[in-house]
Structure 1
Amino acid sequence: MKKRILITGGAGFLGSHLCDRLLEQGHEVIVADNLFTGRKSNIAHHLGNPNFEFIRHDVTDPIRLEVDQIYNLACPASPPHYQYNAIKTIKTSVMGAINVLGLAKRTKARVFQASTSEIYGDPEVHPQPESYWGNVNTIGVRSCYDEGKRVAETLFFDYHRQNGVDIRVVRIFNTYGPRMLPNDGRVVSNFIVQALRGEDITIYGDGKQTRSFCYVDDLIAGFMKLMETDNFTGPVNIGNPGEFTMLELAEQVLKKVGSKSKLVFRALPSDDPKQRKPDITLAKTRLGWEPKVPLSDGLDKTIAYFAKLLDCPYPQS
């Protein structure tokens, strides 16, 4: 059944991929984005589609629309971008949540919150299940993002309990793929861009800290499965449980690019988690979802995207 769907942050990395998939299914899609980290180029191919509309809008301001579903993806998600204006970041998470929840309450729309594995902080439980409450510094340089997302989850569940709003909450683990920004400061894009340019690969700490990397197509499939599932609010972890050290990731990227870049080590940033891996048992049992794209295949697609974007030669993988 055709739905009218709002995506806040829809011109961003994840939002634009979600937009593609929803339009493919024949839905009417409205993208609201202030273009702080989103890019018009990510959605330009839809501008002539009668089922697509773009509104330049900041989610910290209320918006009045008639919609059936809302995906709230608006918030800078990489440390350099969310730390650039920490107060704005926390406003985006908190006021943005209040505004989309108010819209959902009025229109009786199902509303989706893109939460994050950062709500687990530097975890003392590994891997992280949804039942884990986290180990988060409330006053650190990352707190504007971590705590903003935690408060947003609280607001979603309070609106659900108090006003009967139909909510869905996903906790996103590290995701990568085409349309990432080359300067977004995330490890996959950092390593690929540095390798393609022949620059030194920057490793923070000893490189033994771990992350789990989910290819964007798998993540978006998880989003849509949750939105299509009745009687399940989440929160639910969506991510790839394959766990890699930063050194392992750097070695894979260097080998695929054929780069002579050297590894250089820098001090670990404040509050940087030592390990991160989702327990996806709940996603498997309640949504029938698990990731399908191996890291090697996803890296090939992402490297090819950046090589074209940066006009860098990309030798054989």
Structure 2
Amino acid sequence: MRKITYVFGALVAAGAGTYLVVYLYRWQWQRAMICGVLLLVVEVMLFGLATLGRLNGLEERLRDTDRRQRELDARQEDILTRLREPAVAHEERRFRWLEDPADRTYVFVPVLMVAGVLLSGLAWVVQKVATATARPAERRLAGRLAVLAAPDPAAPGDLDDLPPLGGGPGGRTARLATVTVVGAALLAALIVGLADLTQTRKEEANENEATSVVVQIELRGTDMSSDGKALAAQQIWESCRHSTAAPLRHASLGDLGDGTFAGVVRPALTEHDLMRLRGCLEDAPLERAHLTVVGVGDAEAVEG
């Protein structure tokens, strides 16, 4: 379940980041802010899940440690209780032939001594025979294991020629450095590309006389009359007149009927200004109103 949550959060974060860049490119600031807030929320959620997972792991370890400590304390108490038992309880374990003096024969200890001497002598003979017969077998075993023996540390060049296991610290450092450089390069490319797309730079003037923009407005749950649509369209149009680099002093908006309006901008807009105006119109923060740009065109200057 945790892996599914991580995968879902990563997909949501990737989608929010992608649309954040797209909306910034389109100059749609309201949608870009929403995607940015969503991306921030997902990142905080993933960080909280990772932190909660670590805390749960620490809690489980503490529980295991406490359980093992309680079991160890219980065993210690059991052993201490057994050690503190009175010596009277062990009197029943004595030999019966020591309890009655009349039954003593005084032969038990000498018999044990003689038996010990005999067993010691027999063990010495077995050891000598085993030593004499085991030397060839040990020599053959040593010859088979010689190929598996570690090289001599004193011999120069033996240990230096062996490749390090797992790549060694140098390999891990190289991989980490490579990943860091690639990540930094991708981040720098993203920042430079985004700055290039959103930068306001001086462009060549549009030689046409004017630019016409055809828009269509939709209202949800409010006044659906033509006057209400015209008022909402005029408010959005006026709020976006300052979104372009060139001042829109002569920008009129005419009603074409059925919620469609046409705006005429003089002088003609450049490509970058037109992109900014389209983004502002389609992202205008007017409540329950949505404006869509359905067509854009330039009017050529009339000669003579």
TM category, shorter: under 0.3
Greater helix proportion: 2
Greater strand proportion: 1
> Which TM-score applies when normalising by structure 2?
0.21
> Which TM-score applies when normalising by structure 1?
0.21
Question: Which of structures 1 and 2 has the larger relative contact order (alpha carbons within 8 angstroms, sep 6+)?
Answer: 2
**Rg (Cα) greater in structure:** 2
